[in-house]
Structure formats: C-alpha cells, structure tokens
Amino acid sequence: MQGKKILIIGASSGIGKETAITLAEEGADLVLMSRNLKKLNEVVSLCKKGNHRVFSVDVTDENALIQALTESIKTDGKPYDGFVYSAGMEATIPAKLLKKDFLQRVLDVNTIPIILISNFLLKKGNYSSSGASFVFVSSVMGHLGQPAKTAYCMSKHAIVGITKSLALELAPKKIRVNCVSPGMVKTEMSLEILESISEENVQQIESMHPLGIGMPKDVANAIEFLLSDKSSWITGIDLYVDGGYSAH
C-alpha cells in the first residue's frame, strides 16, 4: 500500500475509521470523507503520518460530493489507486411502517453514492494508469433476511449487485471491484443497537456468530487485502467477514 492514494467514504467511525488507521500503517496516503470534520481530524491524529486530507461532506448532496472529489484531485494532482465505501445508516423498522421517503433515504446513504463516486473516479486522470481497486462495505444482510430489516437488506443486497456488475464492466480498465459482507461488528452504530435490546436478544445475536462478534479491525484487514496487489486476480467477489454467521 506504500504511496497509494486511497479514498475512504465514511471514515469518521467504525469500519471506515479502522480501515484508515490500517491503511495508513501500511504507507497509504488517505483522503477521508464524512459529515463530521472533527471526527475525521481525530482519525487522522490516530493514523501513521502521511499525505492525508479530510473533507466534510454529506454523501446525499451530489453537488457537494462531486465538488469535494474534484478538490481532492486538484490539490495534489495525483490519481486514485483505491476507493472504499463504508458510509451507511442503520434501518430497523417493520415493513408495514416503511414509507417511500424513508426507503429513498436509506438508498441515498447506503447505496447510490457508490455509483456516483465510481463514475467520477472513472474520468480520465482520476484513477491510476496502472489500475485501481474499489471495495464496498455490504453486510451479511446483503444475502440473508431478518425481521424489520427490509430497508437495510434492500440497500445491502444492492451493493452486492453493483459490485458484480461493475467488476465485469471495469475489468478492461484494470479496475477491480469487490465488496465485504461483515456480520455484527462492535462499532458505535452496532453497540447502540445492542444497548437498545434485551439481554436475551443480545445473547441470541452472539450465538449466531460462532467466532463471536467481530471487531472493526477484522473487516479492515479484509479490505486492505482486497485493495492490495495480493488480491490482483480477484474481482467481483463478496467476501464474508462474519465470524461464521452465514454458515448457519
């Protein structure tokens, strides 16, 4: 990863934050984006020194997103070698209560920006002439179902489909596209969920992960592998990083 320029969307917390720290340790130069500038600066303070930059941007604001991406290229003139999409919102609500506006919001955060950002990176000079690697964070819910998770599952299933389609379309450009599907990982978002449910439900969730609930580092290591040259003959895959959840 030494000297590679990597874009991480959703880098202020959870898996995105840990991915930034992991990649910086391996020598990558990072461009970190999320809404919370203060948290982004805190992440940079935890990273090994490098040519790191941060941008405060809401991924649902297309104009602001493209402007930030454009600025991230102009600042150093260096194209991207990799792109990680780790932004997302939790969505637990019974299907009978779902409204169109909420469904659109979930897609606007969890899914649609992946395509918008990918399209930007495909423009001439925005990605490395030697190729690039895109890695998107889906979920085991991108394959499985769970009560009250219809909206969330919809968005994460879509990421898997996007991954496979883009992998085929971008292979001639030497761009690899993969995604990871984590199980329950101890992030700020998941801990809030665990704190809001009964101890019995918590134990049930834990029992569904034979290796226990994961840590952000477990997923960050998988993302690093898919970004690196060690996975140079891998594209179009969805890598389960779920402690055995999907083996049930």
Query: What pLDDT is attached to residue 194?
Result: 67
Q: Confidence class of residue 246 from pLDDT cuts 50, 70 and 90?
A: very high
Instruction: Please report, rounded to a whole number, the percentage of residues in the chain having pLDDT higher than 70.
Output: 97
Query: What pLDDT is attached to residue 159?
Result: 98
Active site residue 245: no
Q: What is the largest CA-CA distance in the chain?
A: 54
Tokens of 76: 């150093």
Contact status, residue 243 vs residue 214, Cβ threshold 8 Å: yes
Average pLDDT value over all residues in the chain? 94
Per residue in 23-58, pLDDT (tens digit) is: 999 999 999 999 999 999 999 999 999 999 999 999
Domain ranges of the chain: 5-184+216-240
CA separation for the pair 81, 121 (Å, rounded): 10
Q: Confidence class of residue 190 from pLDDT cuts 50, 70 and 90?
A: low
CATH class for the domain made up of 5-184+216-240: alpha beta
Per residue in 109-118, pLDDT (tens digit) is: 999 999 999 9
Query: What pLDDT is attached to residue 135?
Result: 99
**3-class SS of residue 26:** coil
Per residue in 121-178, pLDDT (tens digit) is: 999 999 999 999 999 999 998 888 888 899 999 999 999 999 999 999 999 999 999 9
Tokens of 69: 């991406």
CA separation for the pair 242, 25 (Å, rounded): 24
Query: What pLDDT is attached to residue 139?
Result: 95
Q: Confidence class of residue 200 from pLDDT cuts 50, 70 and 90?
A: confident
Which residue among the candidates 80, 85, 152, 245 is catalytic per the annotation?
A: 152
